[in-house]
Amino acid sequence: MDYLTAPIVVAIIAGVLAAAISIVDKIVNNYGEVNISINKGKKILTLNGGDTLLSSLASKEIFIPSACGGRGSCGACKCQVISDVGAYLPTEIPYLDKEEMGKNIRLSCQVKVKSDIDILIPEDLFNVKKFNSRVISIRDVTHDIKELVFDLQGEEITFQAGRYVQLVVPPYDKIKGTTQRAYSMSSKPGDKNVIEVLIRLVPGGIATTWVHTHLKEGMEVELIGPFGDFERSETDAAMVCVAGGSGMAPFKSILYDMFENGDIDREVWYFFGARTTKDVLYLKEMMDLDAKWENFHFIPALSEPEEGSGWTGETGMITDVLDNYLKTKIDTDKAREGYLCGSPGMIAACNKVMTANNIPLDKIYYDNFA
Amino acid sequence: MVPDINPVVLLFASVFTSNILLANFLGMCSFISISKDMKSANGLGLAVTVVLTLTAMLNWVILQYVLIPLDLLYLRYIIFIIVIAATVQILEMVIDRVSPALYISLGIFLPLITVNCAILGVALFMQIRNYSFIQTVVFAFGSGLGWWLAIMALAAIQKKLVKAPVPAGLSGPGITLITIGFMAMAFIGFSGMLNVQ
């Protein structure tokens, strides 16, 4: 029986150590019941301490936007903490600037709830819900953009046109762990039972690859939202909207929302940039809207229209087209506001053109997903 | 046979004359990578000293009362490593609870200690040299202090080195290794005073 001694000794020692670790874990990581006070006592959550702030809040149905699902790799789940929760962790510092640190803004996925804690979050987040939705339609609107419609299965979503939702991508193939990605809603606030989004295939993208190759009609998907502060302002300034590719989504929502609610006195210019005719989506729908709505002007522009495609619209870079219209066509005496949705490069370029044409930077609105 | 060495002599010897780092060259990886600033070096030195002393004590008990009686000496590597890993894990949880400030300042260094070869080296030395419990504690604590001293010295030198630029081909790890070589030579000067194994 001598040959059994060694394995038994190793097993006993490892077992004793493992037991010691779990006993210490039980004693040391038991923080008892703690209170999370949100927005100076507007809402108080009581739960067991020891978990991260992000998942503690999620367990009570309050969802802070997060793209990586709490792994500390996206830096999205920022949250202002008023009470003392200790010094900044090395994992938080890369995602925060001096100003944010001055306000004690923390990454909620890194901060552990160990004692009573006071936090400030935007009121809108109380409205955020998790929806168990079902995919009812997937449609190609261009060669690389899909339009997806999710049925909320009896639940309702209330939001301002321009907001986004987070799509929860389950683990698939070699991707371990869930991933969350933000997509602007292209459905109108009036349609409370469905959410529509536009998703362009990004080569190598975790979420977009899953949507384009794995997601099928009838499947159940978790959506969390609404998030964001992109919306039309409550002024009568002329709206100068610029979008590229799937950046169409929030404008489709905003424009139909305005048209159907009779908010049609305001002047709206909508510039849509694409490379070829194959990359333009909802061309007919937008042209129809342009024809029915006097103050709405849809300006699609192609940078590389194919020979013989019969393209009669604008050609050239969207920024050049925009610059030209801002200088000559769009009333320069009246107040103008910029609305942007597209790639970070496009947003930066349009910001330049708009500020050069006297649209102040604080009147240019966009979501910063990057 | 337990060697006949006075614990005070052993403590002095393990800090200076047979410094675990500069005489035995153990624990080099974290020594080179964490010695860029004094604050981190200090935190790591403290952590190594504590873990070294604790694990050497635990390993001595297991060695004397389990491995030697059962004739399982060949298991010492795996057992020592398991004990070191578990101790570091427990220590990390306790420090997180008791002193969050220390936990943050040690940060990622604490888990790194699991793979610090100085820790395993000390456990193996105390077995090879047949140290008694008291001798083991003193030797481990002294080795920790010696490691701490060496990393602080290197961090201090690195700080001065910033003002004395070296040729591009030597900068970074190159000059660090040369510096360590000089330090090791300096510590050899101690070795004539005592010769303790």
Quote the pLDDT of residue B196. 65
Q: A21–B94: do the CB atoms touch at under 8 Å?
A: no
**Strand pairing partners for A180?**
A168
- The full 3-state SS of chain B, as one line of letters, equals CCCCCCHHHHHHHHHHHCCCCCCCCCCHHHHHHCCCCHHHHHHHHHHHHHHHHHHHHHHHHHHHHHHCCCCCHHHHHHHHHHHHHHHHHHHHHHHHHHCHHHHHHHCCHHHHHCCCHHHHHHHHHHHHCCCCHHHHHHHHHHHHHHHHHHHHHHHHHHHHHCCCCCCHHHCCHHHHHHHHHHHHHHHHHHHCCCCCC
B66 in any annotated domain: yes
Quote the pLDDT of residue A299. 92
Q: Does A15 touch chain B (CB under 8 A)?
A: no
Q: Does B112 touch chain A (CB under 8 A)?
A: no
Would you call B59 exposed, middle or buried from its count of C-beta atoms within 10 A (0-12, 13-18, 19+)?
buried
For chain A, residues classed under CATH 3.10.20.30 are 33-124
Q: How many CB atoms lie within 10 A of CB A159?
A: 23
- Write out the H or E segment, with its range, that includes residue A63: none
**Mean pLDDT, residues A80-101:** 86
Above 60 in pLDDT, residue A10?
A: yes
Q: Does A4 touch chain B (CB under 8 A)?
A: no
Q: Are B94 and B28 in contact (CB under 8 A)?
A: no
With CA atoms as reference, the chain B residue closest to A27 would be B94
* Residue among A102, A131, A109, A97 at smallest CA distance from A65: A109
Which one of 1.10.10.60, 3.30.70.580, 3.40.50.80, 3.20.20.370 gives the CATH number of domain A238-366?
Answer: 3.40.50.80
What is the pLDDT confidence band of residue B172, given thresholds at 50, 70 and 90?
Answer: confident
**What is residue A29's DSSP assignment?**
T
**Mean pLDDT, residues A317-329:** 89
Q: How far apart are CA B135 and CA B122, in angstroms?
A: 12
Whole-number mean pLDDT of chain A? 88
Quote the pLDDT of residue A16. 94
Above 60 in pLDDT, residue A105?
A: yes
DSSP string for residues in A241-284? EEEEGGGHHHHHHHHHHHHHTT--SS-EEEEEEESSGGG--SHH
**Mean pLDDT, residues B153-178:** 87
Quote the pLDDT of residue B195. 65
Quote the pLDDT of residue B3. 83
**Mean pLDDT, residues B31-45:** 83
Complex ipTM: 0.82
What is the pLDDT confidence band of residue A369, given thresholds at 50, 70 and 90?
Answer: low
- The shortest CB-CB distance from A25 to any of B66, B79, B93 is to B93
For residue B18, give how far its alpha carbon lies from the nearest alpha carbon of chain A (Å). Answer: 32
Q: State whether CATH 1.10.150.120 applies to domain A33-124.
A: no
For chain A, residues classed under CATH 3.40.50.80 are 238-366
B197 in any annotated domain: no
Chain pair A-B, CB pairs under 8 angstroms: 52
- For A295-316, the pLDDT digits (tens) are 999 999 999 888 888 888 889 8
Best residue in B65, B77, B79 to probe A by mutation, most A CBs within 10 Å?
B79
- For A168-195, the pLDDT digits (tens) are 998 888 887 788 888 999 999 999 999 9
**Backbone φ/ψ region at B5: left (φ over 0), alpha (ψ -120 to 50), beta:** beta
Architecture of domain A128-227: Beta Barrel (2.40)
Chain B residues in contact with A86 by the CB 8 A cut-off are: 100-101, 104
**Domains held by chain B: number:** 1
**Mean pLDDT, residues B44-72:** 91
Q: One-letter amino acid identity for B179? A: T
Q: Are A24 and B93 in contact (CB under 8 A)?
A: yes
Q: A90–B108: do the CB atoms touch at under 8 Å?
A: yes
B2 in any annotated domain: no
* Least trusted range by pLDDT, from A122-126, A281-285, A295-299, A331-335: A331-335
Chain A residues in contact with B94 by the CB 8 A cut-off are: 24, 28
Residue A301 tokens, joined: 């522009």
Q: State whether residue A137 is helix, strand or coil.
A: strand
Q: Does B163 touch chain A (CB under 8 A)?
A: no
Residue A223 tokens, joined: 């959506």
Residue B139 tokens, joined: 């030797």
Residue B180 tokens, joined: 């360590």
CA distances from A166 to A65, A184, B68, B97, B139 (A): 8, 9, 60, 34, 57
Chain B residues in contact with A90 by the CB 8 A cut-off are: 104, 107-108
With CA atoms as reference, the chain A residue closest to B62 would be A13
Q: Does B94 touch chain A (CB under 8 A)?
A: yes
Q: Are B149 and B183 in contact (CB under 8 A)?
A: no
Q: Does B97 touch chain A (CB under 8 A)?
A: yes
What is the pLDDT confidence band of residue A252, given thresholds at 50, 70 and 90?
Answer: very high
With CA atoms as reference, the chain A residue closest to B81 would be A14
**Backbone φ/ψ region at A74: left (φ over 0), alpha (ψ -120 to 50), beta:** alpha
What is the pLDDT confidence band of residue A124, given thresholds at 50, 70 and 90?
Answer: confident
Residues spanned by the domain of B92: 7-191
**Mean pLDDT, residues A276-280:** 89
- For B181-190, the pLDDT digits (tens) are 999 998 888 7
Q: How far apart are CA A262 and CA A281, in angstroms?
A: 25
* Residue among B9, B32, B38 at smallest CA distance from B156: B38
- The sign of the torsion formed by the CA atoms of A222, A225, A227, A232 equals positive
Q: Does A348 touch chain B (CB under 8 A)?
A: no
Q: How many CB atoms lie within 10 A of CB A332?
A: 12
Above 60 in pLDDT, residue A370?
A: no
* Residue among A346, A300, A294, A343 at smallest CA distance from A321: A300
Above 60 in pLDDT, residue B36?
A: yes
- For A356-367, the pLDDT digits (tens) are 988 888 899 988
Chain A residues in contact with B97 by the CB 8 A cut-off are: 28-29
* Least trusted range by pLDDT, from A236-240, B29-33, B75-79, B88-92: B29-33
* Residue among B103, B132, B118, B100 at smallest CA distance from B23: B118
